[in-house]
Chain A
Amino acid sequence: MPFVNWLKRKLVVIAGLLTLGYLLLPNVIVTVFSFNKPKGRFNYAWQRFSLDAWKDPCGVSDLCGSLSVSLQIAVWATLGATLLGTLIAFALVRYRFRARGAVNSLIFLPMAMPEVVMAASLLTLFLNMGAQLGFWTILIAHIMFCLSFVVTAVKARVMSMDPKLEEAARDLYAGPFQTFVRVTLPIAAPGIAAGALLAFALSFDDFIITNFNAGSTVTFPMFVWGSAQRGTPVQINVIGTAMFVVAVLFVLTSMVVGNRRNRQKA
């Protein structure tokens, strides 16, 4: 029975590794196929190793243009949603006002509603208002659906904050503005950062709402979708891999910085 015993002891590790594999396998495939040199237009079968796509990531027409549009929208949507969302979160936690309960539940609606329904209603709204579909309508839509996520993230943080800390600041000669800048904001910062990251990721890869309200503007997800009908350029895998690497680096850096800070404290 030594094998059964070994299995019992390692079961957690094995399960963990299998789950990790399940999570990471798609990324591995994307990365591997970014080094492929496909025959024909579809990058679905492995042929041979090549760096061609990496050397010329913008080689496919419109790809880098759409990427730039997506990044711009993501940055502005993050800024807008984070600013508004933080203000809303503070208002909801700190103040008792009429319709507070209603606002609290309405904020959740964009999260709960099927995206395609929201996309269609937004389009109806924009068309009725006679708005020109494009960059601005996409941005407005993105800020709207990112807002609820930011509010949720910031609210959790503000709720767990001891109101005595702000009293202590006021007691120690900090006026309302100083109290906010020196105490409230730094303590709420992790929640705000989490909300902002979430907003960026959601905005960057949104397809459904964007597709409905984009007019002739093409974002990166729309480009990928569109090109998948006619063939898949290797450059899409290159961009995908690059995004993955950037995200991993981001996480690693924050871990290293956090660890170093903890070590300094101890």
Chain B
Amino acid sequence: MTTKTTRTTKADPTGDVRLTGIAKTYGAFTAVHPLDLTVPQGSFFALLGASGCGKTTTLRMIAGLEEPSSGTVSLGDQDVTALPPYKRPVNTVFQSYALFPHLDIFENVAFGLRRRGLKSVKKQVEEMLELVQLGEQARKKPHQLSGGQQQRVAVARALINHPKVLLLDEPLGALDLKLRRQMQLELKRIQTEVGITFIHVTHDQEEAMTMADTVAVMNAGRVEQLGAPTDLYENPRTTFVANFLGTSNFIEAEVDSKSGDEIVLKAGGGKLVLPGARCSAPASTGGRVLAGVRPEKISLTHADDAGEIPVGRNRITGRIADSSFIGVSTQYVVDSPVCSDFEVYAQNIDRDPRLVPGAEVVLHWNPAHTFGLDASQDADAGVEEAV
């Protein structure tokens, strides 16, 4: 009895999207490997991955535009796997918007309502056009609007039907950078306002991180890791995730000893400390792990001042190979014995004029920022896919 009440009060399961063992194969090619995924009602969920990773296919299976080779799609208690797209309470914002060129903006937005036999659509359509700030454009044809406006029409046309889930297939891909940032905030605002579950497919990791509550990183038809953006960024469990979301430096190291929740690693003659909780690989003494650290966590000190570095920090020596001034920060590439191109981003607060290419430096960081990964994987996985 108690479990039942907690379930209904905690999260209403009527709106969750549940994919169970869903897979898609085209002949010998597997686009999506059997996949289990639950998207809670009202969340902003992102499917992130490079092109061809199966994210769009997954989305289209939820929409009903693609038939899964196996597995089921459920919306709340309802199994919708066998339902055609026009019978699913799900709407899509297409990558190319797919606005009907022969209908004006008003009729584009009213399309879904009219197909469901609603007679008086005027009020609803006008309200929806107000929500996306296009009230003035109702009688124009799609080709007369700018890219950003067309994008908003596509969102309005889907949202007006009050779907249980709104699917967004790379909706901002065709917009320029500035407009994309603006639309990201706009979409986030709309989602908060209407409270509908959004499932957003994108290859842009920044877009996924700024907008979504939960991100699923997909690679080669599988979900590599799922979690909140900060969790994915700080605790990547595979090199693909570590490289696809931002930049990571990897040091191949040997496990020297374990004491309590600290793992001591041996790399190029030096010692590094890794928190046990942040190591996703089995770390037995003598085994190998990849120790990762993000470029912005690292501090750079000229070798002459090495004595001033506080004790207890992980440190590595090297020589600056390259530096580029970005404005807010300077990006250094450091050649070190343990890793040939160590990336370091330093905020331009107090710039040390001695830090120029050729200078001998010490890299140091708080051991808590180190993460450990299985050494058997390719340290460069996901580097090329990231944009």
Contacts and interface: CB of A to CB of B under 8 A. Distances in A.
B94 A168 contact: yes
Interface stretch (B45-53, B108-116, B173-181, B344-352): B108-116
A79 interface: no
B78 interface: no
Contacts of B100: 165, 168-169, 183, 187
B96 A162 contact: yes
B115 to A, nearest CB: 4
Chain A contact residues, majority secondary structure: helix
B84 interface: yes
A186 B102 CA distance: 7
Which of A169, A170, A264 has most B Cβ within 10 Å? A170
A170 B84 contact: yes
Interface residues of A, number: 20
B324 interface: no
A119 interface: no
A174 interface: yes
B96 A171 contact: no
A171 B111 CA distance: 11
A173 B115 contact: yes
Contacts of B112: 172-173
B94 A169 contact: no
Interface string A158-195: 00001011011111111100100011001100000000
A266 B144 contact: yes
A61 B299 CA distance: 105
B11 interface: no
Interface residues of B, number: 28
Given A170-B65, A265-B141, A164 B96 contact: yes
Interface string B86-124: 110011101010111110000000011001100000000
Contacts of A169: 100, 111
Which of B84, B111, B141 has most A Cβ within 10 Å? B111
Contacts of B102: 186-187
A173 B160 CA distance: 12
Nearest to A189: B102
Contacts of B96: 162, 164
A186 B107 CA distance: 14
A178 B115 contact: yes
Nearest to B63: A171
Contacts of A183: 100
B192 to A, nearest CB: 24
Interface string B56-99: 00000001110000000000000000001111001110101011
Contacts of B313: none
A265 B144 contact: yes
A264 B104 CA distance: 12
B141 A168 contact: no
Nearest to B167: A171
B66 to A, nearest CB: 10
A167 B86 contact: no
A186 B141 CA distance: 14
Which of B86, B92, B112, B116 has most A Cβ within 10 Å? B86
A172 B144 contact: no
A170 B101 contact: no
Contact of B98 (A168, A173, A266): A168
A167 B65 CA distance: 7
A173 B86 contact: yes
A175 B158 CA distance: 16
A164 B170 CA distance: 14
A236 B90 CA distance: 64
Interface of A: 162, 164-165, 167-175, 178, 182-183, 186-187, 264-266
**Smallest CB-CB A-B distances: 9 pairs:** A172-B112, A168-B98, A164-B98, A173-B115, A170-B85, A186-B102, A174-B115, A171-B92, A173-B86
8 contacts: A167-B85, A170-B85, A170-B86, A172-B161, A173-B87, A173-B116, A183-B100, A265-B140
